[in-house]
């Protein structure tokens, strides 16, 4: 029987008044890619609290949650396991802190990008999903 792995994570979409989005650079096996600040929630932690904690860890900014955008669900078969990722997407707003980079974590850089330039970045597909949720606000919280 194949191993099964499920990961639940919370991510924040933060867009400033200059139409820039804050992204973090993820250190992946395949190389570095831009992602939304956020990550896996701890056992027993509410995703709402998890996105606030993860956002601060990866960017240095304290945030408050504005709204729930939706959930991204990805299933893929890997050579050694079936992997299911649930990504809970929130819109967040900065309320304090100073931009800094994470040290010793899964990201190594946090940076603002103009929304118009997103298509030129090496990024995780979940960035596009989150922006779709942000722009369209589907009633069911899912993009089809």
Domain boundaries, the chain: 3-136
Please state the rounded mean pLDDT for residues 36-44: 97
Q: What angle do CA 69, 106, 9 make, to 5 degrees?
A: 30
Q: To which residue do tokens 């990201």 refer?
A: 107
d(CA 124, CA 136): 20
The second-level CATH assignment, the architecture, of 3-136 is Alpha-Beta Complex (3.90)
Q: Is 91 helix (H, G, I), strand (E, B) or coil?
A: strand
Q: How confident is the model at residue 53 (pLDDT cuts 50, 70, 90)?
A: very high
57: phi then psi, degrees, rounded to nearest 5? -60, -40
pLDDT at 87: 97
For residue 18, how many other CB atoms are within 10 A of its CB? 8
Per-residue pLDDT averaged across 26-44, rounded? Answer: 93
Token reading at 13: 């979409």
């Amino acid at each position: 029987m194949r191993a099964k792995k499920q990961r639940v994570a919370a991510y924040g979409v933060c867009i400033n008044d200059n139409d820039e989005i804050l992204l973090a650079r993820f250190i992946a096996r395949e190389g570095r890619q831009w992602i939304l600040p956020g990550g896996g929630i701890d056992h027993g932690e509410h995703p709402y609290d998890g996105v606030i904690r993860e956002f601060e860890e990866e960017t240095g900014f304290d945030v408050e949650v504005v709204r729930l955008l939706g959930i991204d669900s990805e299933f893929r078969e890997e050579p050694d396991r079936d992997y299911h990722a649930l990504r809970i997407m929130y819109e967040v707003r900065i309320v304090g802190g100073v931009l800094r980079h994470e040290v010793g974590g899964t990201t190594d850089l946090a940076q603002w990008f103009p929304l118009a330039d997103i298509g030129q970045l090496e990024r995780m597909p979940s960035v596009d999903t989150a922006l779709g949720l942000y722009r369209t606000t589907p009633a069911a919280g899912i993009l089809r």
